[in-house]
Amino acid sequence: MTLETKRVIIAALGGLFLLSLVFVQRMETARKAEEAGLRAPTIAVPSDSRECVDCHAEENPGIVAHWTGSTHAERGVGCYSCHEADREDADSYLHHGVQIATVVTPRDCANCHDAEADEFAQSHHAAGGNILASLDNFLAETVEGVRLEFNPHSPTPGRAFQAVNGFASANSGCQQCHGAKVALNATDGGVVTVDDLQPDEDGIPTNLDAVGRIARDENGRPLINSRTWPNTGIGRLNLDGSKGSCTACHSRHDFSPRRARQPENCGKCHLGPDHPQKEIYEESKHGIAYRDLKDDMNLDAERWVLGESYSAAPTCATCHMSGNIRNGGRITHDPGERISWTNRPAVSLAMDTDINHGIVTDTDNETRRELTHDSWSQKRDRMKEVCSNCHTDAYVNSFYKQYDDLVVLYNEKFAKPGLQIMNALLANDLRTATEFDEEIEWSWFYLWHHEGRRARHGASMMAPDYTHWHGMYEVAERFYMELIPQAREIAQHAAATGRRSAADAVNAVIDDVLARPEHIWFEEGAEGQAEAIRREMERRYGVPNR
């Protein structure tokens, strides 16, 4: 190589090096400007969403502002990427020259996040809409409301209401967590739902007659029934046949991972008298540590792995969904993958699940083995992987022993006997098949649905006060002071009105329950036990000064 050539190469490389320093300078200036709030983070508005952003920045600046701060914006995923629709989609319409749909479903998200969507589709979350045919829904639509519209019985000064929506409690209550069955208004005054549209595997309606009945405004935009939209319930039943709503956890339009990692996110639904997981978590040492150490949680990390990105405290997401170093950082969108008991029903069940993720309820061990695709112990092992990031195996195993003990105590002492008594009343025609029309049905509902769950959930997440005072204490009181006396009274009334055999049958069940060692104190007294406890206390702590 000649000297002249070398000089040229040096000049070129020197220029390139200077250019790289200029680039570094540009990066630094941009970073400082962003930090100082002088300029928005770098975003890429894709060309197909340019018009949406320009217009909605004027019309709904909040939407655009949220999106602007999102990872989607940084990576060039725009409005149209998610709202794009086929002409054949039931809810699609032409909007400024592009075919879009208002409701974004997991099927849309699956275009990019297919693995997450698959996991979610198999989860109990996705099946949250099944409540639409449950006891809870009966409460909201019949007991609290009514399954029809009725006329107001007197005027509301200043407002002119023509009809009372009997579904209002279900619409604004149950369905905002569990998910609504999204409906479009129909030209015949009814509604069109997924049941009518019968979508194929691509989500395209196969019942064109139903599509033809969809009511549209003057711009051709389908009218979404206001009882079912807005709705971000986790098990929403969408028009394209998909179930769920990713925005239930990943709030639109910023889809913040940071928010989804925080317990407040789950607390939209997992709280209250019947399943106060959020409050239970707050009472637990986990929640206490989280409040104290939130700044150390690295919540903005792109990859949020317990033991790698943070160790300060666990949140709901940490234990039930997020990755940890023990499992190679694998995230799941099926929170049931690590839950070994279901404490939802009156009697807790081991979470053996079949190939369709349904709980195996068969009692025969051989059949259970055949049906079980993912056993409760496999699920527990997955949770233990999480626990073991911060606790020793012995500690975790002992905790699970305590938890199992509490669930089994509740099941055996109160839940199964309570169910037995309620079934005996029903079988002997001493209560109606209609729920909530008799006092004992409310008592029983409170016992298992509220207090019993509080006790079990309290034990599952180490909240002693929820386990005891808000839980087992109230279960016991409800059982001994309400359920048993009410059942006795029903039997007594039956005997007095000539239904002796029914009364005897129910009394026999109650007698059998109360004759068990764990209940015997109730009718035979427990003075001996009280005295034994007193003596033991004196032995330990001495005679108290009076």
Between CA 233 and CA 248 the distance in angstroms is 6
Minimum distance from residue 256 beta carbon to other proteins (Å): 20
Minimum distance from residue 401 beta carbon to other proteins (Å): 25
Told to check if 345 binds other proteins by CB under 8 A, we report no
Closer to other proteins by Cβ: residue 5 or 162: 5
How are beta strands 92-95 and 191-192 bridged, if at all? unpaired
Told to check if 543 binds other proteins by CB under 8 A, we report no
Return the range that interacts with other proteins (CB under 8 A); candidates 13-21, 159-167, 181-189, 526-534: 13-21
SS3 call for 268: coil
Return the range that interacts with other proteins (CB under 8 A); candidates 16-24, 189-197, 204-212, 369-377: 16-24
Minimum distance from residue 316 beta carbon to other proteins (Å): 21
Q: What φ, ψ does residue 192 adopt, rounded to 5°?
A: -115, 125
Closer to other proteins by Cβ: residue 311 or 342: 311
Cβ burial, residue 357 (10 Å; 0-12/13-18/19+): middle
Between CA 501 and CA 204 the distance in angstroms is 58
The three state secondary structure string of 71-93 is HHHHCCCCHHHHHECCCCCCCEE
Tell me how crowded residue 468 is: count the other CB atoms within 10 A of its CB.
Answer: 16
Residue from 120, 255, 310, 466 touching other proteins (CB under 8 A): that is 310
Report in angstroms the alpha-carbon separations of 269 from 41, 68, 395. 33, 28, 30
Residue from 69, 267, 307, 329 touching other proteins (CB under 8 A): that is 307
Minimum distance from residue 8 beta carbon to other proteins (Å): 10
Minimum distance from residue 65 beta carbon to other proteins (Å): 24
Return the range that interacts with other proteins (CB under 8 A); candidates 145-153, 306-314, 367-375, 524-532: 306-314
Minimum distance from residue 28 beta carbon to other proteins (Å): 6
Q: What residues numbered 361-400 form the site for other proteins, per CB under 8 A?
A: 390
Return the range that interacts with other proteins (CB under 8 A); candidates 1-9, 124-132, 186-194, 446-454: 1-9
CA angle 476, 480, 486 (to 5 degrees): 135
Cβ burial, residue 456 (10 Å; 0-12/13-18/19+): buried
What is the per-residue binding string for other proteins in 17-46, x denoting contact by CB under 8 A? x--xx-xx--xx---x--------------
Minimum distance from residue 537 beta carbon to other proteins (Å): 37
Q: Which tokens in the block code for residue 40?
A: 């928005």
Q: What residues numbered 311-340 form the site for other proteins, per CB under 8 A?
A: 311, 325-326
Q: Which residue, among 250, 248, 224, 240, has the nearest Cα to 126 in the 3D structure?
A: 248
Q: What φ, ψ does residue 164 adopt, rounded to 5°?
A: -100, 125
CA angle 215, 221, 224 (to 5 degrees): 60
Size of the site for other proteins (CB under 8 A): 26
Minimum distance from residue 24 beta carbon to other proteins (Å): 5
Residues making contact with other proteins (CB under 8 A): 1, 3, 6-7, 9-10, 13-14, 16-17, 20-21, 23-24, 27-28, 32, 298, 307-311, 325-326, 390
